[in-house]
A and B are shown apart, each in its own frame.
Chain A
Amino acid sequence: MSILGFLIPLALLMGLVGLGAFFWAMKSGQFEDLDGAANRILIEEEDEEDQR
């Protein structure tokens, strides 16, 4: 049973990491422009002016 002492904190930690990642993503505007992100992959980059 002592494995639980390791596994439960690990499960909680992983959950918290996921939660933190989601909060970060929301705060940094990752969800601001979902359609745009899908379309941007189709833009051909020009090497000399690396505009995104």
Chain B
Amino acid sequence: MNAPTPDLTTSDTCIDSRFTVPGMRCAGCIGKVERGLSVVPGVAAARVNFSAKRVAVSHAPELTEDAIIEELRKLGFEAERAADNPLGRDDAETKRLLRALAVAGFGMMNIMLLSVSVWAGADAVTREMFHWISALIAIPVIAYAGRPFFSSALMALRYRRTNMDVPISIGVLLATGLSLYETIVGGVHAYFDGAVMLLFFLLAGRVLDAMMRSRARSGIASLLGRMGRGAHVVQPDGSTQYMEAERLAPGMVMLVAAGEALAADGEIVDGRTNVDSSMLTGESDPRPAAVGDTIHAGMINLGNPVRVKVTAAAQDTALADIARLMDEAGQSRSRYVRIADKASRIYAPAVHSLAFLSFCGWMLAGAGVYHSLTIAVAVLIITCPCALGLAVPAAQVVASGALMKRGLLIKDGSALERLAEVDEALFDKTGTLTLGEPRPVDLAPLDPRARSVALALAQGSRHPLSRGLAHALREAGTEPAPLDDLAETAGMGMTARYDGQDVALVRPEVETAGLAVDLLIGGERTRMAFADPLRPDVRETIAALDAQGVRSGIASGDRVEAVDAVAATLGIPATGGMKPADKLDMLGARVEEGHKVLMVGDGLNDGPALAGAHVSIAPGGASDVSQQAADAVFVGERFMPVALAIRVARATMGIVRQNFAMAAVYNMFAVPLAIFGFVTPLIAAVAMSASSLVVVGNSLRLARAAGREDAA
């Protein structure tokens, strides 16, 4: 991005493309990708963004994106073209808040410098001058840094509601106005430092909140993109061209390679294959498809490359119905009120009436408008809602950071709050309880030599079966054998020579019931069957959930027999053969009974349920739609992050409640002082920083607690 662009010899009309490369894990990878790409003819510059797992390539228009992906593959990295980040709007929001925080910090430090001299007993002339300088700094700073609060408060008032920002805005504006008056008449007490400090602390809370969201979302965005976002369309001259899903139209012919997802509904016109429709229906067994069969957007081609004539695209696909259901289901979620807002519904009226009452009280006592107003402002400032504005996000950021290390990305704080309330969990089967990828059922028939040959063959191919086999073999500690003449024949398999013998990994010549491949070494043929296994720690996870009082159940779209088999092994109730709308109805029934349900699912068919559940989690291998609908995404093969998420969420809410309690105790002592007029700007500043530090410190304990669980 900010890399110096090397001079270009070919042309100066470069285009920029972005790719996600999830496999970059170390410094060596950065160097390898950047150096490897920069020597490719037509590439002007390549710059890796390691945090986002992306690489930005500036290249000549002649070089296609597919060619670059191919180059990356030769370097040993799987890559996908990165679409515009659908969740990227938060970035601008975070930056806006960071700028406001920086300005508030600048103002706070300078005003505090002047205030400390005033408190130290500067004489009248110096004090007046310092008050004027403070005013000159504070007013523009408050106007700039206070905007996020003012605009949100205005918005709330316009809809006749209150939120956190209303008491904050009123407090800050009143304090500023009064201090300005104080400065003009040459008074003793100006609260500029208090007002700016309040903004600074609260902005720090907002920034933390926004950073948590954007960090998790960029993590999720780097997982997106494997689903059919576009297709290779066969041109009249026989070549293929990549087109976005929106531009596909009925009548076009798509070439769908093995492992690719369909971007539109269509009819196979050439080739025969197996398709995996688990994303769409939850069905776990791949089904064969041949010329004349209709296959739908969202299905994944597991077998051979096929040509598919588009019959329905974009809005008309089977997917679009699911999207409509999701929209409707998602609306119930938006009614959830966050804990800070809930608290502020009690807090704001209480603080405002207290301030108003003390104003009235002092008026009745004959103190005069000006003096009474000073007291009222002191009450508003001293009841600084830092516990609400800073403590909640601080606790949630710490919790989400701890969860992220354990492989669970939480999209926002509200998700953590909702997770803590869950008392029932519903799981999808295929891809959620199971891995969602074919793995060899049994490696036992292979001796060590066969294993290393099989690994060497399998790792050369992107075919889902090869990838599953390679993964399983690597897990078993196999090293690849050195092969010569490695070649891949599309639709057949991999061939090579090893130790003077022909070796091959090919599909069986006869039709088999499930998925299988044959390993040939010399004349020896070994058949390996593939299945979609359960995640390794599903049983432990369900036990852990049970211990936390969360009942589990399965809601799957797969055949009833297949679902019952899994339910029996795990010992939890299950329902099979469900359509997306059925899952939603099931959730609705549970809600009627007063349960708060956690939905965990990966497929497109789970989308409506994910959007409609009280809170939802999707695995990293889930469809884009599901990952965007879910509140959190877990990566890796282990299922335990789901149980961990609930435990950490509950611990977080415990801390948040402690913080509220501390704030209440603090207010019990501070408010009477303010009401009886003992609070000066000095006391306000000390009390405010002290209370903020206490709640933040308390929130940080959560990191220790999460760390202990790490060790356990």
Q: Are A19 and B35 in contact (CB under 8 A)?
A: no
B28 within 8 A of A: yes
Given the interface pairs A26-B99, A52-B4, the reply to whether A36 lies near B30 with Cβ below 8 Å is yes
- Interchain CA distance A46-B103 in the complex, whole Å: 42
Alpha-carbon separation in the docked complex, A30 to B3 (Å): 11
Q: Which of A26, A35, A36, A49 contacts B95 (CB 8 A)?
A: A26
The answer on a CB contact under 8 Å between B99 and A39 is no
Give the shortest distance, in Å, between B419 (CB) and chain A (any CB). Answer: 27
Instruction: Check A12–B137 contact: CB distance below 8 A.
Output: yes
| A43 contacts B27, C-beta separation under 8 Å | yes
Tell yes or no: A8 within 8 A of B by CB. Answer: yes
Question: What's the Cα separation between A23 and B35 when bound, in Å?
Answer: 31
Q: Which residues of B contact A22 (CB under 8 A)?
A: 102
Query: Pick the contact of A29 from B2, B4, B109 — CB < 8 Å?
Result: B2
Whether B31 contacts A19 by the Cβ 8 Å rule is no
CB distance A42 to B27 under 8 Å? yes
Q: Is the CB of A32 within 8 A of B51?
A: yes
The 8 Å CB contact of B38, one of A11, A40, A43, A49, is A49
In the docked arrangement, what's the CA distance between A18 and B109, Å?
A: 12
Bound Cα distance from A39 to B53, whole angstroms = 13
Instruction: Please measure, in the bound complex, the distance between the C-alpha atom of A30 and the C-alpha atom of B2, giving whole angstroms.
Output: 8
Using a CB-CB cutoff of 8 Å, which residues 115-158 of chain B contact chain A? 126, 133, 137
What is the bound-complex CA distance between A41 and B26, given in angstroms? 11
Can you spell out 19 A-B residue pairs with CB atoms less than 8 angstroms apart?
A4-B126, A23-B99, A26-B98, A28-B2, A29-B1, A32-B2, A32-B52, A33-B51, A39-B26, A39-B27, A39-B50, A40-B27, A43-B27, A43-B30, A44-B31, A49-B35, A49-B38, A51-B34, A52-B34
Complex: how many Å from CA A11 to CA B106? 11
Contacts of B2 in A (CB 8 A): 28-30, 32
Q: Is A34 part of the contact surface with B, judged by Cβ < 8 Å?
A: yes
Say yes or no for B39: interface residue by CB 8 A criterion: yes
Q: In the complex, which residues of chain B have a beta carbon less than 8 angstroms from the beta carbon of A28?
A: 2
Contacts of A15 in B (CB 8 A): 106, 109-110
Assess whether B133 is in contact with A8, with CB atoms less than 8 Å apart: yes
- B113 in the interface (beta carbon within 8 A): yes
Complex Cα gap A25–B30 (Å): 22
Interface size of B by CB at 8 A reads: 32
- Within the complex, the shortest CB–CB distance from B56 to chain A, in Å, comes to 10
| In contact, B106 and A18 (Cβ under 8 angstroms) | yes
A-chain residues with CB within 8 Å of residue B103 when the two chains form the complex:
19
Per the bound structure, the CA–CA distance linking A42 and B32 in Å amounts to 12
Query: Is A32 touching B49 in the complex (CB atoms < 8 A)?
Result: yes
Q: Which residues of B contact A12 (CB under 8 A)?
A: 110, 137
Tell me whether A34 and B102 are in contact in the complex, defined as CB-CB below 8 angstroms, given that A28-B2, A49-B35 are known contacts.
no
Rounded to whole Å, the gap between the CB of A32 and the closest CB of chain B is: 6
Chain B residues with CB under 8 Å of chain A are 1-4, 6, 26-28, 30-31, 34-35, 38-39, 48-52, 95, 98-99, 102-103, 106, 109-110, 113-114, 126, 133, 137
Given contacts A23-B99, A40-B30, 6 further A-B contacts (CB under 8 A): A8-B114, A19-B102, A26-B95, A33-B52, A36-B51, A43-B27
Give the CA-CA distance A8 to B132 in the complex, in Å: 13
- A49-B51 CB under 8 A given contacts A22-B102, A23-B99: no
Instruction: Tell me which residues across on chain B come within 8 A of A32, comparing CB atoms.
Output: 1-2, 49, 51-52
Known: A29-B2, A32-B1, A49-B39. A11 touches B110 (CB 8 A): yes
B211 to chain A, nearest CB (A): 10
Q: Which residue of A lies closest to B38 (CB)?
A: A51
Partner of A19, one of B6, B26, B106, B126: B106
Bound: A30/B126 CA distance, A? 41
Contacts of B1 in A (CB 8 A): 29, 32
Question: Closest Cβ of chain A: how far from B440's Cβ, in Å?
Answer: 35
Interchain CB contact (< 8 A) of A39 among B4, B30, B113, B133: B30
Contacts of B99 in A (CB 8 A): 23, 26
Cβ of B4: which chain A residues have Cβ within 8 Å of it? 52
Known: A1-B126, A39-B30, A49-B38. A11 touches B49 (CB 8 A): no
- Distance of A32 Cα from B126 Cα, bound (Å): 45
Min CB distance B138 to A, Å, is 13
Please name the 7 residue pairs, one residue from A and one from B, whose CB atoms are nearest each other, closest first: A36-B50, A42-B27, A39-B27, A43-B31, A33-B49, A35-B51, A19-B106
Chain B residues, Cβ within 8 Å of A23: 99, 102
Q: Which residue of A lies closest to B32 (CB)?
A: A43
A22 to B95, CA, bound (A): 11
Expressed in whole angstroms, the Cα–Cα distance for A12 and B113 within the complex equals 10
CA distance A11 to B130 in the complex (A): 13
Expressed in whole angstroms, the minimum distance between the Cβ of B71 and any Cβ of chain A is 15
CB distance from A44 to the nearest CB of B (A): 7
| Residue ID in chain A nearest B26 by CB atoms | A39
A29 neighbours in B (Cβ, 8 Å): 1-2
Residues on the B chain within 8 Å of A44, using CB: 31
Residues in A whose Cβ lies below 8 Å from that of B48: 33, 36
Minimum distance in angstroms from A37 CB to a CB of chain B = 8
A4 to B132, CA, bound (A): 14
For residue A5, give the distance in angstroms from its CB to the closest CB of chain B.
Answer: 10
**How close is A8's CB to chain B, nearest CB, in angstroms?**
6
- Report the bound CA distance from A33 to B222 in whole Å: 14
